[in-house]
């Protein structure tokens, strides 16, 4: 059995509620796997980078 999160406009072309992005799905997946979505790592130049730029969890899926 599936779940629909949010709603689209009358034409189905854009979100009317809960405009989540793939990064939000990844944040939920990472958290489920025990990986902190707000984790940082160093890039080749030594600068800290976030694992995900958008880390908001989808509360309906947590």
Every domain of the chain and the residues it spans: 19-61
pLDDT at 2: 84
pLDDT at 33: 97
25: number of Cβ within 10 Å: 14
Query: Which residues does 25 contact at the CB level (< 8 Å), separation at least 6?
Result: 58, 61
Q: List average pLDDT for each run of 10 residues in the chain, which is 62 residues long.
A: 87 90 94 95 95 91 86
Indicate the DSSP class of residue 37: T
pLDDT at 18: 83
pLDDT at 37: 93
């Amino acid at each position: 059995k599936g779940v629909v999160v949010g709603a689209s406009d009358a034409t189905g072309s854009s979100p009317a509620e809960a405009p989540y992005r793939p990064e939000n799905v990844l944040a939920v997946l990472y958290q489920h796997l025990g990986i902190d979505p707000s984790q940082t790592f160093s890039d080749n130049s030594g600068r800290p980078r976030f694992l995900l730029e958008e880390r908001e969890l989808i509360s309906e899926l947590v």
